[in-house]
Structure 1
Amino acid sequence: MTASSSALSALLKKSTLDDHEQILDACNKTLKSSKSDPEAQHVKLVALLKLDRYEEAVQSAETAGDSLRRTAQLEYAYALYKTGRLKEAVAISSEIQSRGASHLEAQARYRLEDSLATSELYQRLRNAHDESEGYDLHVNQGAIDAQAQWIGVADVRSIRRPGREDLEAFETAYNAACGSIAREEYTQAEMLLKRAKELCRHSEDLTDQQKRDELIPITVQQLYVLLCLGKSAEAEAVASEIIIEDASDLSTRHIAQNNLLVTRGLDNTFLAYKQFHATDKIPSNDKLFSFQSAPLTSNQATLDLRAFKFDGLKSSRHIPGKSDTPSDEFISSCSKAAAVAGNGTGKAAIRKILSLLEKQPKDIGIIVTLVQLYMLNGDSTSAVELMEDFLKRLEQSAVEHEQKTRFNPVLVSLMISLYKHRDQKSHVKKELAKAAAYWRTQPNPPASLLTAAGVSLLESHDEADAKLASEIFARLKEQLPNDKATAAGYVASHAAAGSSQLKSDIDKLTPVEDLVRDVDVGSIEQAGIPQSSNALAIAQLGRSKKRGAPEAGEGKAKRIRKSRLPKDFDENKKPDPERWLPMKDRSYYRPPKGKKRAKRGGDTQGGVVNEDLNVDAKPAAPVASASGGNKKKKGKGRK
């Protein structure tokens, strides 16, 4: 060991946990005389981490070389995690066999929204039976469960509903509220957030500053829930509690600023644009989750369009498949298309976006924008043809990513909505059947899409469709064993199996007696056959247009215009009652005599046919005259 290293070791023995600046100065002095001293490099890296100087820690580890990164793998991985280089942190920490490295890997994967892998890591940590970490692991698992539901990868069977134990601490109550928000159970979330605020305010383990730091995200989340519930007055009261400057992280500040703008509803677009961008740019180490960034990106694009920032949106570099999240990529594409059209909605705007589509034929945002404009202009035919061509191109693609995009629930729902608008029921069934056939082979299929496909196929009389419906509901039964809609579909699709085999599923359904308990059968029979709304409207329209003949002594007779009367009309003369009959059928008709009668005798159209005439006989061919009577006479002077 060199002299400088001995001096550093002596200093470290005398130092306390609070003098990291002094330790860092000693390491720098040692490294000036011996740049490759491994102990000094390692101590410097730890000191920088203790001082929260993470960028310098990463730079120091990378400058020192591979030897330090192998010796201080955990410290280097932690520095990468704190600077937002999450994938590198996962790669390094996953190779380290230690409990601390597992915690670090779980945190990095959580930030990367890899919920399933994170949950497996925490399960392994819980199995190690470290009682000192029991509460922390429980809190972190609650956050993971909420995230999995937000991004749509949670197994429905493993979703845990809030229990009594979640109401004992503000962290667990907050995570349970986030899970309720992900399931759109806002009333329950409101109750849990109120409980979380109360527990946080009365916590004896937190300082006043720590309470302010914890209350900001809880209050911002509460404001979001109240806005979703439409409780404007309560939302304004909660908004008055939020002091944006109290938020320690910029991501929370940005979300709070957005929700406050929504609450206040500024009419001045340019003032709203200014306030939206008032917060500083979010650094990479405080990156938003996808379910947070999507609405913020959408709001930013909307404000840019309303503020006529077309050039900025059109010049934004958007490469399909290279954006941070698919939602951000989609929003960027839609806003760029709208900017190219200059916020227009007419045919001129459609032509401009079509020229953009020629350059990017597989851009979903451009396709959806065009479909919306077509529908706004009443051209549903072009909208359907555009979507069908686009989906066909994706379906024929050999790229796996494009195959998954083809059956994205959002695109399938859009296609079905267009078909329903045009009342193309057979096309709806085919589209749902295609989507169901694809998602049955994929993990975590969208339950709502499979349910819709199964219901549609049950309405068909084709045996193949019925078989597919039974397979779909069998898969849904495994995924949602306690769902009543799934149980009903399973019973309906497996009715041929007999009620004895379906008894457990039938017991989950509401009994028929309970469903018809409040139905008055007598009044229904007395009311007769119900008519559709269209039939009732037509009948009402007919009654409103028709007028009955006036009865005796009621009103005046309808006056007939002179233009409708014959020229020799005499209102004092009684009209001929047989004037509507043909002349030959009138009682006073007498046929003409003599030559006129002979000329008219052969005309039987409209009259009585003479049965002596052979009307079925075919005309005979003329017989050639032997005397040459049919020959033409020769002209004079010719021989």
Structure 2
Amino acid sequence: MAASAKSLSALLAQTSIDDPEEYLKAANAAIKKSKSDLEAQHTKLVALLKLDRHEDALKVLNDVPQLQERARFEHAYALYISGDAAKAVEVAAKGDDSRAMKHVLAQSAYRSEDFEQAARAYRELSEQNQAGEEADIRINSGAVDAQLEWAELGHLAHTKKPDREDLQAFETAYNAACGSVSRGELGQAEICLKRAKDLCNALTDLSDAEKQAELLPITVQQVYVLTQLGRVDEAEQLSTTIPFAEIKELSTRYVAQVNSIAASKEHSNPYLSHRLFHASPKPPITDQHFSFQSNVLRQDEYVVDLLVHKSVGVAQSTAKLIASTPAPTTSPSINTAAVINAAAHSRNMTEKAALKAILPLLEKRPTDVGLLLTITHLYLLTNNPAAATHLLESFFKRLEQSGSSSDLDVRNSPGLVATLVSLYSQQGRFSTSKTELAKAASYWRHKSKTGTSKSLMVAAGTALLDTHSPESLSAAADIFTKLHEQDSTDRAANAGLVAAYSLSTPERLSSELLDSIPQAERLVADIDAAALEAAGIPTLAPSTVTTTESRKRSAPKDISSKAKRIRKSKMPKDFDPDKKMDPERWLPMRDRSYYKPKGKKGKKKLEGLTQGGPVVEEKVTQEGKQAAAAGGGQKKGGKKKGKGGGKW
């Protein structure tokens, strides 16, 4: 083995080989003499990777297990480039601490959606400050920051807002735009995308074909941003300029074609949209979409199927997806599938009819969060917030009684808590909403060191400050202290911490903390106090005085009322427009002022109907008995009760 390795090394040293094919031939010749020659096997492995024969390289590694330990870097790279990024992370994590291995680890973690580890690896590479790699590391770090936002790990992102340096190269400007999209800052994203295009077009070291290849993904992202901004006409016009066949990455081409369907007014025919959607090319395993992209594309597919009335198929496929994950869960993909499943069962029905069709599903899936929120929304659409509140309260109570850690995580999830708090606020139950916020914040403070959603913690801390009780102020101070430790530049955390300390323990207020709050002089610098004082104190308008007389509104006297026009179809055949209509035509004839009955019976009947006029009392007997007062409907000529015979 040693002689064979020595002969191969000597052979390669005596020649000037630049072609990997020649290296492969020399390695194969040595392996033919001795299959256990690790030096030759290693040379063959490197040659195969340089020739982009990745599957063959993995076969060599599988056939020679001893080579996996010797060539750990090549093994990790072969796995990554073949599409098995998760296995590549495992191999690279056990390797040496070389810079090359860290690059492979960072890229593999990024593709396997372990963005936290990818961010950590790029941070270490950046701290080592290797000359010539600053630009590449900055570009890749920007991509990782955007993915952290999509994965709801935005607190780990290094950059929260594009700076001037990000807008100096088209790659970093594009990544800054993607980060802005993930945070919902669509206006900022549009600015960054335009900047990226301008920078790419200004490059002189790229050919026109290379520029076109770089501009296509930027244009695809622009179409999405314009669609989300509601500027569909601009998005449609821009989409028509994209040559889909020239997009080399099939994952990007697939997204581009789906976005073009969404932005096009010509595809109003759902069956045509369905055909075009399913005609888009599926990307290979080495160019797969990220999970958040796959979830959205799957939702689009379900919606397109519903539009062509494939309700049964959608209901079955979404039911399988829902059953694949234990309930309850806060997974966006599962809960969105539950919403679509409810839509499939309702079959285009709305509000009350949809509620009637969906409520039986809740009996089968009582812990389905997506279905629960769908029914809550339908209750609100039918103007029944009390039922929506009761539904969520019952769900929270069931999760609390289960005692499971995962169930309690769902019960205190920021989205569900915010939904219940908004329902309480809508009904004026502000104290209950504060209690709910404090309960959720307390749970996450004891559950996790970093807490959970920043918005939930800020809302809970603010609600606790309003109570002014010592316990609540202490809890608020604890919340804002943790937020301040995570990000000392966060204005909301600093302001909350100052407010909590000033009300409970003013001695803990440091000058550094006070300096982080904007000065009052800066906040009122553009306010003219003299002008406000000269304007005087505003008074209530007369119409706002809460008296009975002021609330009455009289008709304007100087405006003549216009006669309402009547359709010809509503007019009688003998209608005369010049003849004035009887204003009492809606009343019965006997109630009209000009009614005069004919005959003695009619006049006597009219006297009995007189309202407010004189009443003629009838004579009664000494016993005070009268037929009307007896209440028995006694007939004329009948016998009196208790007496035999005689007429009344």
Q: Give the TM-score category using the shorter length.
A: 0.7 to 0.9
One-letter amino acid of the structure 2 residue matched with residue 205 of structure 1 = D
Matches within 5 A, 1:124-273: 124-155=124-155, 158-159=158-159, 161-265=161-265, 266-273=267-274
> Deviation of residue 388 (structure 1)?
2.1
Contact 2:4 2:37 in 1 (8 A): no
Alignment of 1:84-123 (within 5 A): 84-97=83-96, 98-123=98-123
Q: 1:385 to 1:239 in 2, by over 3 A?
A: same
Deviation string 1:224-254 (CA, Å, 9 cap, x unpaired) is 2333334445434432332222222122112
Deviation, 1:7, is: 9.9
- Does 2:301 align with 1:300? yes
Q: What SS does the corresponding residue of 1:543 show, helix, strand or coil?
A: coil
Q: Rate the CA distance shift 1:508–1:363 in 2: closer, same or farther, 3 A.
A: farther
Matches of 1:335 and 1:143, distance apart in 2? 31
Residue aligned with 2:58, SS: helix
1:506 Cα deviation from its structure 2 partner: 4.8
Match of 1:365 in 2: 370
How far is the alpha carbon of 1:50 from its aligned partner? Answer: 2.9
Q: Mean alpha-carbon deviation: is it higher for 523-532 or for 439-448?
A: 523-532
1:73 maps to 72
Partner of 2:453: 446
The code of the aligned residue for 1:311 comes to V
Secondary structure in 1 aligned to 2:132?
Answer: helix
Report the CA distance shift for 1:106/1:426 in structure 2 as closer, same or farther (over 3 A). same
Q: Which amino acid aligns with 2:552?
A: G
Matched, 1:527 2:573: no
Q: 1:279 to 1:52 in 2, by over 3 A?
A: farther
Aligned counterparts of 2:27 and 2:554: Cα–Cα separation in 1: 98
The one-letter code matched in structure 2 to 1:566 is G
Q: Does 1:412 align with 2:423?
A: no
Aligned AA for 2:167?
L
Aligned 8 A contact 1:491 1:505 in 2: no
Give the letter for the 1:289 counterpart. F
8 A Cα contact 2:458 2:493, kept in partner: yes
Partners of 1:29 and 1:366 in 2: CA distance:
65
TM normalised by structure 1 equals 0.75
Equivalent residue of 1:277, what SS? helix
Aligned with 1:339 (options 327, 336, 344) = 344
CA distances 1:560-613 after superposition (whole Å, capped 9, x unpaired): 98867334289xxxxxxxxxxxxxxxxxxxxxxxxxxxxxxxxxxxxxxxxxxx
Q: 1:159 to 1:125 in 2, by over 3 A?
A: closer
Q: Percent identity?
A: 39
| Structure 1 pair 204–490 and aligned structure 2 pair: CA distance change class (3 A) | same
Which stretch of the first structure deviates more once superposed, 490-499 or 123-132?
490-499
Q: Matches of 2:70 and 2:548 in 1, distance apart?
A: 85
Residues 160, 369 of structure 1: CA spacing in aligned structure 2 closer, same or farther, 3 A cutoff? closer
State the alpha-carbon separation in 2 of the partners of residues 11 and 304 from structure 1.
Answer: 64
Within the candidate set 504, 515, 518, 1:504 is matched to 515
Q: Deviations over 1:280-315 (max 9, x none)?
A: 223333232244334323322222222222233233
Q: Out of 395-404 and 249-258, give the one that drifted further.
A: 395-404
Which shifted more, 197-206 or 482-491?
Answer: 482-491
SS of the counterpart of 2:379? helix
What amino acid does structure 1 have at the position aligned with 2:553?
A: R
Structure 1 SS opposite 2:133: helix
Whole-Å separation in 2 of the counterparts to 1:359 and 1:74? 51
Letter in 1 for 2:100: G
Structure 1: runs of 5 or more not aligned: 548-558, 571-639
- 2:20–2:51 CA contact under 8 A, matched in 1: no
**How does 1:549-588 map onto structure 2 within 5 Å?**
565-568=611-614
Tell whether the 8 Å contact from 1:153 to 1:444 is kept in structure 2 after alignment.
no
- Counterpart residue identity of residue 280, structure 1: P
The Cα shift of 1:186 comes to: 3.0
C-alpha displacement at 1:28, in angstroms? 7.0
- The reply on whether 1:425 has 2:425 as its aligned counterpart is no
| Residue number among 368, 390, 394 corresponding to 1:389 in the alignment | 394
Deviates more, 1:116-125 or 1:517-526: 517-526
Bigger drift between 508-517 and 242-251 goes to 508-517
CA–CA distance in 2 between the matches of 1:430 and 1:342? 39
Matched with 1:543 is 553
Quick check: 2:330–2:369 contact (8 Å CA) kept in 1? no
Measure, in 2, the Cα distance between the counterparts of 1:355 and 1:4. 75
CA contact (8 A) 1:487 1:508 kept: no
> What is the CA–CA distance in structure 2 between the aligned matches of 1:468 and 1:382, rounded to whole Å?
32
**Root-mean-square deviation over aligned CA pairs:** 4.0
Is 1:321 the equivalent of 2:325?
yes
Contact 2:270/2:307 (CA < 8 Å) preserved in 1?
Answer: yes
Q: What is the CA distance between 1:96 and its match in structure 2? A: 1.0
Worse-superposed segment, 443-452 or 395-404? 395-404
How far is the alpha carbon of 1:455 from its aligned partner? 2.5
Distance 1:436 1:108 in 2: 36
Write the distance in 1 (CA, Å) between the matches of 2:160 and 2:27.
50
Q: CA deviation at 1:217?
A: 1.3
Ranges in structure 2 where 5+ consecutive residues have no aligned partner: 558-583, 585-590, 594-608, 617-648
Pairs aligned (count): 556
Q: 2 CA distance for matches of 1:147 and 1:82?
A: 20
Report the CA distance shift for 1:156/1:281 in structure 2 as closer, same or farther (over 3 A): closer
Residues 326 and 206 (structure 1), Cα distance of their counterparts in 2 relative to 1, 3 Å cut: farther
Aligned-pair CA distance for 1:18: 4.5
> Higher relative contact order at CA 8 Å, sep ≥6: structure 1 or structure 2?
1
Structure with higher Rg: it is: 1
Deviation at 1:456, TM superposition (A): 2.4
Change (3 A) 1:477 1:10: closer
Q: Deviations over 1:243-284 (max 9, x none)?
A: 222222122112212222222143222222222222222333
Say whether the 8 Å CA contact 1:226–1:234 is kept in structure 2.
Answer: yes
Deviations 1:192-228 (A, max 9, x none): 2222112222323334443232211111122223333
Tell me how far 1:141 sits from its aligned partner: 1.9
Deviation track 1:326-375 (CA, whole Å, cap 9, x = no partner) reads 32222223222332333434666545544444444322222222323333
* C-alpha distance in structure 2 between counterparts of 1:377 and 1:283, whole Å: 46
Matched residue type, 2:83: G
Query: Is the 2:232–2:263 Cα contact (8 Å) retained in structure 1?
Result: yes
| 8 Å CA contact 1:244, 1:257 repeated in 2 | yes
Letter in 2 for 1:217: P
> Secondary structure, in 3 states, of the residue corresponding to 1:566?
coil
Q: Could you tell me which of 470, 476, 484 is aligned with 1:477?
A: 484
Q: Is contact 2:162-2:176 (8 Å) kept?
A: yes
Moved more, 307-316 or 497-506: 497-506
The residue aligned with 1:286 is: 287
Contact conserved, 1:155 with 1:444, CA < 8 A, in 2? no
